[in-house]
Amino acid sequence: MAERTMVRNGNTQAQAEATRTYRAFAPRVDIFETDHELLLLADMPGANPQNIDLRYERGELSLRGQVDGAARAEPIVEEFETGDFYRVFQIHETIDPSKIEAEYKNGVLTVHLPKQEQAKPKQVQVRTG
């Protein structure tokens, strides 16, 4: 890989070469926490569920895929992104990776990240005596 250099404050530093030559965007995401799970909602209108690659590995949840830009008619206004998308999230170790589930409906990807039993809040009964 070719190395580029950058000069900052009189010092020469190596600058990383770009690894992507295609356009990619980051879908908008909301994340909520309940007592039982983290809930991730990714806004991806136009995505084909078969083109969504969702992976959990070593504490990271990666989301990548493609939204096809093929339009049914000539657009007048385009506000939704098209092309390749990519996001990575650091996931806390209290998540149970064996129970992660995802569904895509009406342009929204919903990812359920259940908490392990020991991480869930526990109600403690107070006795009187």
68-79 CB burial, b ≥16 within 10 A, e <16: eeeeeeeeeeee
- Domains of the chain as residue ranges with CATH: 22-70+79-118 (2.60.40.790)
Read off the pLDDT of residues 82-127 as tens digits, 9 standing for 90 and up. Answer: 788 899 999 888 899 999 999 999 999 999 999 988 867 778 889 8
Q: Is the pLDDT score of 128 beyond 90?
A: no
Q: What is the CA radius of gyration of the chain?
A: 21
pTM of the model: 0.71
pLDDT in tens, 33-72: 998 999 999 998 888 899 899 999 988 999 998 887 666 6
